[in-house]
Amino acid sequence: MANARKRDFFSLILLIVLLSDSYTTTAVEFELLKLVLQWPNSYCSLSKRPCRRKPLPSDFTIHGLWPDNRSWPLYNCQFDFDIPEVGDQKFRQKLDVIWPDLRLKRKRDPEQGFWITEWKRHGSCALPDISFIDYFTTATRLNKKFNIRDILGRGKLYPGDSYDLQQVESTLTKFIKKVTVVKCPNGFLTEVIVCFDPSGTSIIDCPGPYPCTYVTVNFPKAVKR
């Protein structure tokens, strides 16, 4: 009798251990990662604060990495630690090339404000799966997988002209093999969003909305005001 009870007790403990383990390992709080890339000449054509970065990068640069859910947008999630530095200075210099704050001049020790704002607004929603510093290394890794300007070029879409939105979208889909999101405020091809699974292993179709409603979009070679 005592033994049977002991066995029940241990079975119960085992069950609790198993359950809590499955909770911790399956606790992904977001469904997808959106890598948001911007075309500097478009961004700076529209930005209210002029871009002081000279020269402007001639490739798409990172705007942010946004963990998200399909049913509702995730932003400004909770966190309970003091925000550390974004890597060391060497890492920040590298990050400043692919993820620059275009409004600011280039500096030997780049300002961290843009990255930290993006992390607070979006990156914090990937905790605890993606730590503060992993957020930036993950964005760097995902950004390396393709080059939007090259992809558009393969479809004969070069900066300095206007193109049918449909042509832009089908070129992106053809080479990325998944649906992306194009953003085109005021008719400028400003952003392309590529979506990944939560672990950042595979590219997936981006869910809507697909906000660009212009028939043709301007893909400028320089800042137009």
Number of H helices, E strands in the chain: 7, 7
**With binding defined as CB under 6 A, does residue 74 bind ligand NAG?**
yes
Beta bridge partners of 38: 61, 191
Examine residue 30 and tell whether it contacts ligand NAG (CB under 6 A): yes
Residue 29 among the catalytic residues: no
Query: Is the separation of the CB atoms in 62 and 98 below 8 Å?
Result: yes
Maximum Cα interatomic distance, the chain, rounded to a whole number of Å: 85
- Active-site option among 85, 122, 169, 191: 122
- In the bound complex, what is the minimum distance in angstroms from residue 25's beta carbon to ligand NAG? 14
Instruction: Respond yes or no: is residue 191 known to be catalytic.
Output: no
CA dist list (Å): 121 to 64, 77, 109, 115, 118: 10, 7, 23, 10, 5
State which residue, 29 or 59, has the beta carbon closest to ligand NAG.
29
Of 29, 118, 169, 191, which residue is the catalytic one? 118
- Can residue 22 be called a binding residue for ligand NAG (CB under 6 A)? no
State yes or no: is 122 an active-site residue: yes
Give SS3 for 107: coil
29 binds ligand NAG (CB under 6 A): yes
The region of 13-21, 25-33, 54-62, 138-146 touching ligand NAG under the rule CB under 6 A is 25-33
- Does 51 bind ligand NAG (CB under 6 A)? Our answer is no
Q: Is 129 in the site for ligand NAG (CB under 6 A)?
A: no
- Give the residue, chosen from 20, 58, 69, 117, that forms a contact with ligand NAG under the rule CB under 6 A: 69
Beta bridge partners of 191: 38, 183
The nearest distance, CB 122 to ligand NAG, in angstroms, is 12
Which letter does DSSP use for residue 56 in this model?
Answer: P
Residue 150, judged by CB atoms within 10 A of its CB (0-12, 13-18, 19+), counts as exposed
**Residues annotated as part of the active site:** 63, 118, 122
Which residues are at the interface with ligand NAG (CB under 6 A)? 29-31, 69, 74
